[in-house]
Structure 1
Amino acid sequence: MKNLTRLIPQGLVLLLLAGVAVYVATHLQIGRINRSVSAAASNSPGALKVSPGPAELPDESKLQTVGENDRLTLKLDAKTAHFLVQDKKDGRVWRSYPNPAQWSRETTVGLWRTHLRSPLMFQYADLTSNKSQPKETNFLEEQGTIQKLETFPGGFRLTFDMPSKKLSVPIEVKLEGDSVVTRIVDSGIKEENLSLLWLRLYPFFGAERSEEQDGYLFIPDGSGALIRFQEGGTNATRIYQEPVFGKDLAYQLKSSDDYRDNARHKISAPVYGAKSGDRGFLAILEEGAEYADLLASPAGAYSTYNWITGQNNYRQKYRQVTNREKERSFDTYNKEARFSGDRVTRYVLLDSQASDYAGMAKRYRTYLMKAYKLNQLPPGSGKVPMDIIVVGGDSAKGLLGDRYVKATTTIDAMQMIQRLYGLGIDNMAMRYWGWQKGGYGETGGGAVVDSRLGGEKGMKDLVTFAHSLNVPVYLRTDYSRNTSGAGGFSTRVHGVRDLGGTPIEKFASLSFVRQLVDQDIRYFRELGVDGVELQGIGQYLSSDYNSKYGASRKESMGQQQAIITKLREGVGKVLGYRSSLFAAPLMDGVARLEDDFSNDLFSEDGIPFLQIALHGLIPYTSMPSNERDQFNKQFLRDLEYGANPSYLFTGSSSEDLKYVQNLTYYSPSPQDWEQTAVQEFQKWNQALGDVQHEFITGHRILSKEVRETTFGNGKRIVVNYGTSAYVYEGRPVEPENYLVLQGGAKP
């Protein structure tokens, strides 16, 4: 050491010695914790009968600290593998089990009482037997034991072992910044005769009863919805359960199932959350979201607690056809087809001032910006861009087959742009649908501009004219379904197949699709268009059991992301259509972003969660104004949700188009709507023109019919959907009207 001090400055030596001391002390402490928790785990009686009462839940006075950072402390009950996380700043606590202060009032008995106490629920089946039915149980019910428990800096890892089922599940739990992150380690899962169908890890994280609670569960239903805590609720078994990113087409159980079924709004973002008083969390499914369902259970359904969780699916029922005509089938599971990959959930523990749904959405925005390297949009011209959608052509049933119906030529489109621009809509973009040979219903890539619309020359002339007015032009294309035979497509050879081997309509395997994209990129460049609008890609997500081109659902997600990236690099901008959040962050805009919810009996309030997360990062629209069911109320919602305007026009009247097969037009004639479009453009600019690049920093439900949205520059928009006036800070907001306050101005 003396020789060393001659070569190294004394201050640096002291610093090195201090670092060594901290390292040794830390690892000695970890060693002591390891020995202590291992001893506790080995002495665990498993799920021996426990008398109803406090002893059913962990004794928090005996929990041991197994991890901490500058904000949070992680404590573990080694006997049950339950944990709690405490905020060092204010002492608030989040638990992996129901709030014990309310446990004495829990009346649930039997299996569900054990479920509530268990760190792990699961469903299994004996797939070696044709008569086996799925069964649901949990770690405590099976008198499981905790194996291989050890700590590491910031967390712990262990294995849940259920000898009765010959099933083992390894997990990890650790602190990361403002979050606690759980992981199911897929490579360590062991099954024998019994097969896992799903796992729910720590399903009652943050579970709370309703009494005296200002709380709710946040579900990503459509744009977002709240299930508010209600005292004395009796919801029977009505719970929310939906697959993340929508249905997997390869597992539809009935031949009548339709991928276009939109009776319910899909989950576009892999998130959920809960708020109880000043405690809130946002859960993000970081890995395995494509194989997850989200469940939310209000108090009164199964128990007296409100709880929400992700269900990690490992197998799913599918339809096995038994005859050539496909009229006979049975539903079953495949033992070998287990969905692989780790399942990771990040529980972001929110500051007390940001524990509401707006705080959840803002925190998700931060997460997206980091994960996808997104930046805030630059300031614009002060005017919102209005999307003008035109439809070139479509098909209609004829006596001897389908016939082509021309709707809007490239000359018609030029005239529309010119007239609307002259009327004052001087910031717009054109999205051209049905431009390809055969019209809107002909999809699959490799298309050319239909000569009846003006052909390639007509499209180039349209683009040149539009650019003279600074109007970008986007061509819609749908690679997900191939109805035109582009690229030599054959459903039998190149089509997506379900697990039973049956082709799914005209859906094309993505490995085949990627071969078509390069050809189209060259064609789009020749036309000079500014980009493409993608339908299907980013909208649907399916496994594919095509023996040559097949892909898992996770691989399909990656393939779609690769297609989006390739088009952006090769053509320019890429817009999505009803895109999910595995695709939207890679795009330059989203058309028809989810802006409503499913209106379940237990969820009364729709919220703009997606919009709060995306505004200022990615532009988006809702439905075209002239396609609305409730014109004025949906205009108000567009303002509340910060959406850009859009209109759908054709060069032909709705009477000429009433027999087309693929689109339904309410009133597409620009002559009927141009004055309204101009008026809306002016209103939109007054409300949203200067906040296109601003984040939404706040959103409040002021009453059943009144909402307030706040933007980053302080501007507030208050909308009143009701039939009577509402007084906001001394100012009246008239029925079915809105109020704009600049920069947070007071009356």
Structure 2
Amino acid sequence: MKRYIILSLIVISLLMIISVYGYETDIPAEETAESTDISSEMRSENDVLENMECVLENENLKLYLKKDEDLFALVNKKNNYIWWSSPVNAGCDENATDALKSELKSSLVISYYSENSSSVSSLKSAKDADISYSSDGNSLTAEYDFRKYGINVKAEYSLGEDFIQADILSENISENKNCLVCGISIMNAFGAADSSENGYFIIPDGSGAVINFNNGKINAKQYSSMVYGDDMTASSEKKAANSEKISLPLYSIVKNDNAVLAVIRKGDANATLNSAVSIQSSTSYNKAYFTFTVHEKDSYYIGSEENPITVCNNKKNNNDISLRYYILDDNDISYCNIAEKYREYLLSELNVSAKDCLKSPDIYIDLYGGALKKQSVLGIPVYQKQCFTSFSQAQKLISDIDAENKAVSFRNWTDDGIEHKTDFSGSPSETLSGKTDFQKLCEYTENKLYPVSENISFSSGNGYSRLSDSAIRVSGSYSEISAYDYAYGVKDKFRKKYSLLSPSALSRIYDEISENYPSENISLGKSLSVLYGDYGKNYTSREDMKNIIINCLEKLDMNILAENPNAYALPYIDCITDIPVNSSRYDIFDYDIPFYQMVLHGIVPYSCEPVNSSANTCDMLIKAAAYGSALNYDLVYSDVSELKNTEADIYFYSNYSNINQDYQLAKDIIKAVKDCTITAYKPLEKGFEISYSNNVKIIYDGKNYKMTDSNIKH
């Protein structure tokens, strides 16, 4: 009898435990059965629009809503063209699975991390959310309640003169502790084009690239790239393929003599741009969209390099999301029209000021001073400072270049730079011949010397320690920057590792630079081109780092040169180097365009990437000249054989003797178009045709590496 009573009590206790805790820890599996689909029959756009409610309107635009389908329609009142948040016939797509149909039909898609399964899954608003709407006449608020998952998101939609804007405040993203929101895509199918439509996407990868709708590249990898480049904290065990980054937070869709320019106003540092063409996307639609990271993820390996473990940071990126879609309706939509619209945005919204480009340099020279090199002293290997270009040798290199208007950046010119420590002292290295020769070099360059202070990776010293000032990965380990073996692409264990500097240390370093620098000019090198977080006790998201940098630049009262900087830095920069002349040339791309150059030319002076660093210097030189770029070269005075087994060996190409010959070829074009904007660009079978606002036209024959120009006096 006692045994039955004890068993009964155990069963009752188990039932009570399940009833109390079971639903709190369980996460519903994604439903596989599709809910009743009220849009599964083919219908016309006009039929759908007739059954929609106008919720917002201004002089130029009307926003309609179909509440029961999670569907928006933006009507351009000038020509009655309709931009849909989702394809009206997404439910009829024979090439899409039920899950992808749901994604196409959703105005909000969420990826979430399940702590129980250590996996990432997705939720679609059209299928998984209860949506409620409210309007105050000026904006529409949509509340997406993913009740089963404990996730709730509020988005606000509003109209401007020529745009629709979608905003999500960080405080309006709530979540269950067991379901962490990793990413959010808002209007992920806006402007999606079906397989019968003609048009293209402009992707700001490198100089810029075009993806034609339905280009048949179904076996190519879909495009997905973080805005401003990958997060450096999560360093890979193997070297990634060389690629360009996205420096401008935008993309464009062009179809039927209409275009939309999507621009991120807030949250750009945590955004990823995605694009795919029909069939390749596993649907019948071509689409491009942004995904915004809310919780950072990382992967690490235990034992083997197979089946990595995914971890998600519990701390949310407390950054708002704001995405704006500009509507363009010119009958002659072109790359330059779209670039002009973004240029207007930079000037009016980001307060970028137009520089005096007529006085800008024709040539930029980047000199490398010194590095640590392992030497044998009494049979003991020690690292010693070695000079590759002294200040007096730099003057000789510069004097040998015929161009009248030159700008010079000088990296590793201090002992701290040579030793790879945080570099803010502004004290010229005696190894390079010291302060007196440095001052002579400044005078010789007529105040166009830009000493470099980069401060991305470092070794302990100068009050900064690996233990307290290193960025921390999501996995909890210290983030390190390693050199890779040239032959095998794996981390080179025989090279020094450096720590990645925490963004929280930047304010202090910039204050030191302001106090100590011996010049009113400074090159910040690649430091305005990279972005990363610190996911340890000094938690700093990429967006936080962006804001830290902006605050630092606002206080830095100096003339600033930067290498291929990110868009948020443009208001503070006087000249730019290392603008790419190509995209990453991914298989999905159809051809390159100089979109970055179209945006900036005539506004901010810039140069191409180092001509002598290119495997095809002829192609680089002619493209740079045609794109109106100043020329750029990396140089050292020593024989490049001296660079072996130092961190400077990446400049193996830096003995170059054809600069004057290159300049004679390009100088007339560079001078002729300095302060002009690019007004037209036409791809040709083996080249391109480009026009400027002063009627200069240049045709590049890429097959024979020939360039012809008109209206230029030689």
Do the two structures share a fold, i.e. TM-score over 0.5? Answer: yes
Measure how far apart 1:353 and its partner are.
3.7
Matched-pair contact (CA < 8 Å) for 2:118–2:310: no
Residue 72 of structure 1 corresponds to which residue in structure 2? 61
For 1:521, the aligned partner's letter is S
How many angstroms apart in 2 are the aligned matches of 1:407 and 1:374?
A: 37
| 668, 683, 704: which one aligns with 2:665 | 683
Matched-pair contact (CA < 8 Å) for 1:576–1:584: no
Matched-pair contact (CA < 8 Å) for 1:74–1:83: yes
Report whether the alignment pairs 1:387 with 2:364: yes
Pairing of 1:221-300 with structure 2 (within 5 A): 221-230=205-214, 233=216, 235=218, 238-252=221-235, 254=236, 256=237, 261=240, 263-300=242-279
Matched-pair contact (CA < 8 Å) for 2:112–2:179: yes
Measure how far apart 1:110 and its partner are.
1.9
> CA 1:441 to 1:591, structure 2 compared with 1: closer, same or farther past 3 Å?
farther
Pairing of 1:554-703 with structure 2 (within 5 A): 554-567=543-556, 569=557, 572-669=558-655, 673=657, 676-701=658-683, 703=684
Measure how far apart 1:349 and its partner are.
0.9
Unaligned runs of 5+ in 2: 1-33, 481-498
Report whether the alignment pairs 1:308 with 2:288: yes
> CA 1:441 to 1:690, structure 2 compared with 1: closer, same or farther past 3 Å?
farther
How many angstroms apart in 1 are the aligned matches of 2:475 and 2:644?
A: 38
Matched-pair contact (CA < 8 Å) for 2:385–2:418: no
| 430, 450, 460: which one aligns with 2:408 | 430
How many angstroms apart in 2 are the aligned matches of 1:216 and 1:123?
A: 27
Q: Return 235-244 or 366-375, whichever deviates more.
A: 235-244
Q: Give the TM-score, by structure 2 length.
A: 0.85
CA deviation profile, 1:643-697 (whole Å, cap 9, x unmatched): 111222222222333443334334434xx51xx3223323323112032222222
Residue 420 of structure 2 corresponds to which residue in structure 1? 442
Residue 710 of structure 2 corresponds to which residue in structure 1? 741
Residue 21 of structure 1 corresponds to which residue in structure 2? none
Matched-pair contact (CA < 8 Å) for 2:252–2:259: yes
Residue 716 of structure 1 corresponds to which residue in structure 2? 697
Matched-pair contact (CA < 8 Å) for 2:369–2:387: yes
CA deviation profile, 1:362-403 (whole Å, cap 9, x unmatched): 21111111123223333525x852112222222333341233
For 1:689, the aligned partner's letter is K
Report whether the alignment pairs 1:159 with 2:143: yes
Report whether the alignment pairs 1:545 with 2:535: yes
CA deviation profile, 1:521-567 (whole Å, cap 9, x unmatched): 33323xxx3411113421221111342x4422221111122233333
Pairing of 1:92-131 with structure 2 (within 5 A): 92-98=81-87, 100=89, 106-127=94-115, 129=116, 131=117
Matched-pair contact (CA < 8 Å) for 2:144–2:154: yes
**Percent pairwise identity:** 21
Secondary structure of residue in 1 paired with 2:676: coil
Residue 489 of structure 1 corresponds to which residue in structure 2? 464
Measure how far apart 1:269 and its partner are.
1.6
Unaligned runs of 5+ in 1: 1-45, 723-734
Matched-pair contact (CA < 8 Å) for 2:119–2:310: no
Q: Give the TM-score, by structure 1 length.
A: 0.82
Matched-pair contact (CA < 8 Å) for 1:47–1:140: no
Measure how far apart 1:66 and its partner are.
1.8
For 1:304, the aligned partner's letter is S
CA deviation profile, 1:312-371 (whole Å, cap 9, x unmatched): 222232246889xx9999633346322223211101111234633332222111111112
How many angstroms apart in 2 are the aligned matches of 1:370 and 1:718?
A: 33
Secondary structure of residue in 1 paired with 2:400: helix
Residue 170 of structure 1 corresponds to which residue in structure 2? 154
How many angstroms apart in 1 are the aligned matches of 2:56 and 2:417?
A: 61
How many angstroms apart in 2 are the aligned matches of 1:719 and 1:214?
A: 27
For 1:374, the aligned partner's letter is V
> CA 1:609 to 1:51, structure 2 compared with 1: closer, same or farther past 3 Å?
closer
Report whether the alignment pairs 1:195 with 2:180: yes
CA deviation profile, 1:61-120 (whole Å, cap 9, x unmatched): 1112222222222222122332111222222221111255x9866542421122222222
> CA 1:438 to 1:377, structure 2 compared with 1: closer, same or farther past 3 Å?
closer
Measure how far apart 1:581 and its partner are.
1.5
For 2:502, the aligned partner's letter is S
Matched-pair contact (CA < 8 Å) for 1:73–1:88: yes
CA deviation profile, 1:412-457 (whole Å, cap 9, x unmatched): 122233333xxx4211111112211266462411342111212111
How many angstroms apart in 2 are the aligned matches of 1:119 and 1:550?
A: 31
Matched-pair contact (CA < 8 Å) for 1:249–1:498: no
How many angstroms apart in 1 are the aligned matches of 2:406 and 2:364?
A: 6
Measure how far apart 1:576 and its partner are.
0.9
Tell me the matched-pair count.
654
How many angstroms apart in 2 are the aligned matches of 1:125 and 1:498?
A: 17
Measure how far apart 1:162 and its partner are.
2.6
Matched-pair contact (CA < 8 Å) for 1:436–1:442: no
How many angstroms apart in 2 are the aligned matches of 1:56 and 1:74?
A: 18
For 1:188, the aligned partner's letter is N
Matched-pair contact (CA < 8 Å) for 1:584–1:590: no
Secondary structure of residue in 1 paired with 2:453: strand
Report whether the alignment pairs 1:362 with 2:345: no
Matched-pair contact (CA < 8 Å) for 2:217–2:587: no
> CA 1:682 to 1:234, structure 2 compared with 1: closer, same or farther past 3 Å?
closer
> CA 1:289 to 1:51, structure 2 compared with 1: closer, same or farther past 3 Å?
closer
Residue 728 of structure 1 corresponds to which residue in structure 2? none
Secondary structure of residue in 2 paired with 1:656: helix
CA deviation profile, 1:135-186 (whole Å, cap 9, x unmatched): 22312332x3222x12233431121223333332211111111111112233
